[in-house]
A and B are shown apart, each in its own frame.
Chain A
Amino acid sequence: MPNKLFRTTSVSAIFLLVILISACAPPVAKIKVSRTEVKPGDPVTVSWETKNAKKIEVNGEAAEKIGAKTVTPKETTTYEVVARRGRKEARDKAAVTVTVVKPPMPTISLRAEPSAIDLGRNTTLRWEAANASTVTISGLGEVAASGQREVSPRVSTTYTATAIGEGGNATASTRVTVTEPPPPPAPEKPKPSPEPPIADQFRAQVRPVFFDYNKSDILPEGKEVLTRIATWLNLERNRTIVFRVEGYCDPRGTAEYNLGLGDRRSRAVKDFLISLGVDDSRIEVVSYGNEKAAGTEEGAASAPPSWAHDRRAELIYVRGGDRP
């Protein structure tokens, strides 16, 4: 039976040898990418193939011996396959270069034809934008990327078109000048009808009433003046006279408040005259605040310009009193 033993042994040896040889064969790894240069978001197929390996990793992740996957790298990436068998290993690399293409800067142009119009006329705005996702024009809102629009501004207007895109902002402005027709001539003031003689008599009777700083109380001197005037106004022949009390202030307070203070001064005079029997309906009141103030220091009421003279109420003839 030695022959049989020999055969069995040699077959076993060959098997063993084959097993040994195959056990000792170094692993092999290959990797490739479908595209080596891409833009962000482009798909790339990574495929690999290994032999004689027990453990395979692609970029650190366990993988099949032969495989492929699709990736969308955001930045330049190197793909590496590692095939291991025991202590032996094989590596292969393939790189994908990701080139970031800057989105193009938007551009925009804007023209008005004509750029000068008379009030009430139209002009045409024309615009053209590129690389923009949104286009707006001041006064028109959001518009198409390119287009034209009739506008009829009432005053000279600067139109600004803004194009917004991934690459940034762009603006273009154009000015439409609106020429206004010449202003109408100032209305001719109606010629004052000749004043009746009673107006002169009125002026001869009245005197200004003066006030303390920031006050609207009628002072004793003012009461005397107004009492004399009231007596004259209450004469039968004068009872149709309508007159106006104008209130004034010195310039030390503020203009807005002084208009109110002047109103209260003229109203105090009106109320005092009413208390003396002058009819309410004959008295108009108006304030000039400090609009006509002339003083630069306190001075005396009798010697204008002075602040003391600025703080006063005056009586102005309006109409009536003329007997038919």
Chain B
Amino acid sequence: MTLVRRRPLVALLTTLVLTGLMAVLAVAQTGGASPGASQSPDDLRRQIGTIIVTPGNGPSLAVADFQPRTAGIDQQVATFNMVLWSDLQFAGVSNLIGKSLYPTTRLADPASLRYEEWSGDPVKADYLAFGGLTDGANGQGFLYDIKTQQAILTAQLSGSDREMAHQFADQIVKVLTGQDGIAQSRIAYIANREVQIMDYDGYGSRAFTRDNSINLFPSFAPDGKRLAYVSYRSGFPNVVIRGEDGLIIGATQFKATTTSPTIGPDGRIVFSSSKDGGGMDLYLANEDGSAARRLTNTRKAVNISPRWNPRTGQEIAFISDRGGNPRIYLIGADGTNERPFLTLGGQMDSPAWSPDGRFLAFTWDGGGGTFNIYLADIASGQVVKLTREGRNESPAWSPDSRHLVFQSNRTGRWEIWAMHIDGSEQRQLTRTGGRSPSWGR
């Protein structure tokens, strides 16, 4: 069963070639990745270009302002329209047609839809979304295929103005691409030494922990139902795992430094710890943090920042300074096949594996004294630079593999930012500080 009815569109999306890609820097081909890889640096840009739809490309979508069907809800309707537009712009699955080109007739119901107003110049829409709010908590949205003059989605919406907009945006993305949208997802991060959770667009932040200690590095399970983080509550940094309801599922209790937990698709946890002396090594533990088994053994080296390949659950990317500067390595979840992935100079950290398993995002200071977010193609080892302002660290992937969230100090303070994986649409999500984001569902 699938919601996709527009196969040609899906094909179009996947064959699009990106033209407006924000200038990304291709970095020299590295050794260490796949042997014999000798593609041109443009290949990775082209790959990314098939994922993000940029202006001038892709199916064109018009989004008529929703109309109030009752008096006194103008404010909610205005918020709804703003949020829906922002959601669809950030979704990056269609070419949004600017509202200034739209006909001036108000459109709330299919009965008042005149196709010729939307199919011809200057709108030339392939698809049209519109609808109305019946009151402050209910609404109805429509998506029409202008060419075939057919409704492809009618959606009953309920909730707050923002929730209804997120619901409709996700449903449009689902119908157009067959993939789940991210407008209703959440992001965990650290502020005021506690784990906070906010909507994916930065609204509705609330404290998830009240540990009155130092909490670091929250990390959602791939299904978004659990969250692991580091807490100093025991006097030592230890890993704590909580359910989405906040209940504690488990915790490590080592008298050492234990950090950077990451939950695999099967629930197992990988973290870094110095619990057995010697150095920081990687450990694989049960979903409650118990029965930790050592994966690496490099005396005195720092092996840290492990991240599962969330698609396979079989491989882990991590950082090791066994060769001098901290760089990215890969290792099997059974402790075998340990090897360097990128052998570039400078310092790297926080490798983040995309949910589809294709890419690693990471932060890298190649020697200029500033960290930026980069994207590496696992298969070819090609690398592109995604950020340019300030310091940019701690990248984490959206569940749809099309967006990244990270921390940047470009405003003078660490804040949470998000962007498309081609580096476009960089958006500031927090305004009062934030670090170490993790994208849930």
Which residues in A have some Cβ–Cβ distance to B below 8 Å?
A: 102, 105, 107-110, 119, 134, 136, 154-155, 158, 160, 162, 164, 168-175, 180, 183, 186, 252-257, 259-264, 267, 284-288, 291
Given known contacts A107-B154, A170-B155, A256-B217, A285 and B274 CB-to-CB distance under 8 angstroms: yes
**Does B274 lie within 8 Å of A267, measured CB to CB?**
yes
**Does A255 lie within 8 Å of B155, measured CB to CB?**
no
**Does A254 lie within 8 Å of B154, measured CB to CB?**
no
Contact with A along B143-171 (1 / 0, CB 8 A): 00000001111111111100110010001
A74 to chain B, nearest CB (A): 18
Given known contacts A255-B436, A260-B280, A154 and B158 CB-to-CB distance under 8 angstroms: no
Given known contacts A168-B152, A169-B3, A158 and B237 CB-to-CB distance under 8 angstroms: no
Q: Please, could you name 7 A-B residue pairs with CB atoms under 8 Å apart, sorted by A?
A: A107-B154, A169-B153, A172-B157, A256-B349, A257-B349, A260-B302, A263-B280
Given known contacts A164-B1, A168-B153, A261-B302, A255 and B216 CB-to-CB distance under 8 angstroms: yes
Instruction: Assess whether B5 is interfacial by the CB under 8 Å rule.
Output: yes
Instruction: Assess whether B334 is interfacial by the CB under 8 Å rule.
Output: no
**Does B156 lie within 8 Å of A286, measured CB to CB?**
no
Q: How far is the CA of A49 from the CA of B363 in the complex (A)?
A: 85
Known: A172-B155, A173-B156, A267-B277. 16 other contacts (CB 8 A): A109-B156, A154-B244, A155-B245, A171-B156, A171-B171, A172-B157, A254-B371, A257-B302, A260-B302, A260-B303, A263-B279, A264-B279, A284-B236, A284-B255, A285-B256, A285-B257
Instruction: Assess whether B430 is interfacial by the CB under 8 Å rule.
Output: no
**Does A260 lie within 8 Å of B175, measured CB to CB?**
no
**Does B155 lie within 8 Å of A173, measured CB to CB?**
yes
B3 to chain A, nearest CB (A): 6
Chain A hits for B246, CB < 8 A: 180
Instruction: Assess whether B437 is interfacial by the CB under 8 Å rule.
Output: no
Residues 364-415 (chain B) with a chain A CB within 8 angstroms:
369, 371, 393-394
A138 to chain B, nearest CB (A): 10
Instruction: Assess whether B326 is interfacial by the CB under 8 Å rule.
Output: yes
Chain A hits for B1, CB < 8 A: 134, 136, 164
Q: What residue in chain B is nearest A270 (Cβ atoms)?
A: B277
**Does A259 lie within 8 Å of B237, measured CB to CB?**
yes
**Does B257 lie within 8 Å of A160, measured CB to CB?**
no
B171 to chain A, nearest CB (A): 5
Instruction: Assess whether B272 is interfacial by the CB under 8 Å rule.
Output: yes
A286 to chain B, nearest CB (A): 5
Instruction: Assess whether B226 is interfacial by the CB under 8 Å rule.
Output: no
A-B pair count, CB < 8 Å, reads 146
Instruction: Assess whether B358 is interfacial by the CB under 8 Å rule.
Output: no
Q: How far is the CA of A108 from the CA of B157 in the complex (A)?
A: 11
Given known contacts A169-B3, A183-B210, A257-B326, A174 and B158 CB-to-CB distance under 8 angstroms: yes
Q: Which of B155, B160, B363, B436 has the most CB of A within 10 A?
A: B155
**Does A256 lie within 8 Å of B255, measured CB to CB?**
no
**Does B212 lie within 8 Å of A256, measured CB to CB?**
no
Chain A hits for B303, CB < 8 A: 260
Which residues in B have some Cβ–Cβ distance to A below 8 Å?
A: 1, 3, 5, 150-160, 163-164, 167, 171, 175, 184, 210, 212, 214, 216-217, 235-237, 243-246, 255-257, 259-260, 272, 274, 277, 279-280, 300, 302-305, 319, 321, 326, 347, 349-350, 363, 369, 371, 393-394, 435-436
Q: How far is the CA of A257 from the CA of B256 in the complex (A)?
A: 16
**Does A158 lie within 8 Å of B159, measured CB to CB?**
yes
Q: How far is the CA of A234 from the CA of B370 in the complex (A)?
A: 45
Chain B hits for A154, CB < 8 A: 243-245
**Does B393 lie within 8 Å of A155, measured CB to CB?**
no
Given known contacts A162-B3, A169-B5, A170-B153, A286 and B347 CB-to-CB distance under 8 angstroms: no
Q: What residue in chain B is nearest A260 (Cβ atoms)?
A: B302
Q: How far is the CA of A96 from the CA of B97 in the complex (A)?
A: 44
**A171 partner, pick from B155, B163, B304, B435, beta carbons under 8 A:** B155
**Does B319 lie within 8 Å of A256, measured CB to CB?**
yes
Q: What residue in chain B is nearest A159 (Cβ atoms)?
A: B158
Q: What residue in chain B is nearest A292 (Cβ atoms)?
A: B214
Q: How far is the CA of A170 from the CA of B142 in the complex (A)?
A: 9
Chain A hits for B321, CB < 8 A: 257, 260
**Does B319 lie within 8 Å of A257, measured CB to CB?**
yes
Chain A hits for B153, CB < 8 A: 168-171
Chain B hits for A170, CB < 8 A: 153-156
Chain B hits for A260, CB < 8 A: 257, 259, 272, 280, 302-304, 321
7 smallest CB-CB distances across A and B, nearest first, come from A260-B302, A172-B156, A254-B349, A175-B159, A154-B245, A263-B257, A260-B304
**Does A155 lie within 8 Å of B435, measured CB to CB?**
no
B190 to chain A, nearest CB (A): 9
B275 to chain A, nearest CB (A): 11
Q: What residue in chain A is nearest B3 (Cβ atoms)?
A: A169
Chain B hits for A136, CB < 8 A: 1
A4 to chain B, nearest CB (A): 85
Q: What residue in chain B is nearest A183 (Cβ atoms)?
A: B210
**Does B159 lie within 8 Å of A155, measured CB to CB?**
no
Q: How far is the CA of A175 from the CA of B191 in the complex (A)?
A: 28
Given known contacts A158-B159, A257-B326, A287 and B3 CB-to-CB distance under 8 angstroms: no
**B300 partner, pick from A109, A259, A264, A288, beta carbons under 8 A:** A264
Chain B hits for A264, CB < 8 A: 279-280, 300, 302
**Does B257 lie within 8 Å of A287, measured CB to CB?**
yes
Chain B hits for A288, CB < 8 A: 214
Q: How far is the CA of A307 from the CA of B363 in the complex (A)?
A: 21
**Does B235 lie within 8 Å of A286, measured CB to CB?**
yes
Q: How far is the CA of A316 from the CA of B303 in the complex (A)?
A: 26
B349 to chain A, nearest CB (A): 4
**Does A263 lie within 8 Å of B216, measured CB to CB?**
no
Chain B hits for A285, CB < 8 A: 256-257, 274
Q: What residue in chain A is nearest B409 (Cβ atoms)?
A: A251
**A175 partner, pick from B158, B272, B304, B393, beta carbons under 8 A:** B158
Chain A hits for B300, CB < 8 A: 264
Q: Which of A168, A173, A291 has the most CB of B within 10 A?
A: A173
B65 to chain A, nearest CB (A): 21
Q: How far is the CA of A267 from the CA of B273 in the complex (A)?
A: 13
Chain A hits for B156, CB < 8 A: 108-110, 170-173
Q: How far is the CA of A3 from the CA of B349 in the complex (A)?
A: 129
Chain B hits for A261, CB < 8 A: 302
Q: How far is the CA of A299 from the CA of B303 in the complex (A)?
A: 30
Q: How far is the CA of A36 from the CA of B305 in the complex (A)?
A: 74
Given known contacts A263-B302, A286-B235, A287-B237, A255 and B393 CB-to-CB distance under 8 angstroms: yes
Q: How far is the CA of A180 from the CA of B155 in the complex (A)?
A: 29
Chain B hits for A183, CB < 8 A: 210
